[in-house]
Amino acid sequence: MRLLLTGKNGQVGFELQRALALLGDVVALDRLTCDLESEVSIREAVRRFEPNVIVNPAAYTAVDKAESEEGRARAINARAPAILGEEAARLGALVVHYSTDYVFDGKTERFYRETDATTPQSIYGKTKLAGEKALAATGARHVIFRSSWVYGVHGSNFVKTMLRLAGERETLSVVADQIGAPTSAALIADVSTLVIRRLSETNTAGLEGVYHLVASGETSWHEYACHVIEYGRAKGHVIKVAPDAVRPIATEDYPTPAKRPANSRLDTQKLRDAFGLTLPDWRGSLDHVLEQIL
């Protein structure tokens, strides 16, 4: 199997390089070898390698900056998946693409299902939803994984930021009224690999489409931060902030250019049923990554 991977230096891309190697020959590209803002660059990369599977974790993920850089966000998040889909359709290849909880408005009181109405509230969310639709419209075989609150050993993320700030400050304020499931890049990569292997088999009709892929359970950003900080403290990491000095605050107390969903909980029943999976609790996956970071 020949696999073409974009965004190899991102959190998910980094883990996918490891996981996808089990399936065959992987060509991993970065921004220099495949510029997702350039149609020519994208088409040349695909035609040079002619893969059986295109895996596209690359994205414009600067959520707040996207509010003032809509053109760049739309080129990378919406137009690039369409081009990859067009090339994949020509080759008969499978496209595995990644999306986000930001396609929802976060106003429901339950876990979001794949079939729920998508009403993104930010440029980032709107461009990611546009990418989903554009890929599907090409007619290429595809799987789209929506995930949330992604972190990993590699790259910058909330986990590393909390450890750094907790080692520098005596008090911290963290939003407590947004809920979701922290999801490790390693989990996303491992599940992606399993799904690709399954879809390479015969009699897999009906298994393509959109799936929610997150760790099980739920938490708030505040509880998430407290877990990270206390784990660091227990492991001897330099922590200045006291356990009772991590203050829960409301979203309105921490204004940002882009609106965040209050409810980012994603229902994974469809994925679990289709592929016979049991997804780990967010705490276990987080502790595994923290062990590596610390």
pLDDT tens digits for range 195-206 = 999 998 876 778
pLDDT tens digits for range 219-239 = 999 999 999 999 999 999 999
List the one residue out of 194, 18, 73 whose CA is nearest residue 81: 73
Average pLDDT of the residues in 25-38: 96
Q: Would residue 217 be called left, alpha or beta, if left means φ above 0 and alpha means ψ between -120 and 50 degrees?
A: left
Q: State the pLDDT at residue 205.
A: 73
List the one residue out of 108, 150, 142 whose CA is nearest residue 12: 150
> Is the pLDDT reported for residue 76 higher than 90?
yes
> Is the pLDDT reported for residue 48 higher than 90?
yes
> Is the pLDDT reported for residue 79 higher than 90?
yes
pLDDT tens digits for range 140-177 = 999 999 999 999 999 999 999 999 999 999 999 999 99
CB neighbour burial string for 227-261, b if at least 16 within 10 angstroms, e if fewer: bbbebbeeeebebebeeeebebeeeeeeeeebbbb
With tokens 């204004």, the residue in question is 255
The structural domains of the chain, with segments of one domain joined by +, span 2-157+182-217+265-280
Catalytic residues: 124
User: Taking the domain 2-157+182-217+265-280, which CATH number applies?
Assistant: 3.40.50.720
List the one residue out of 21, 2, 29 whose CA is nearest residue 190: 21
Q: What is the mean pLDDT of the chain?
A: 96
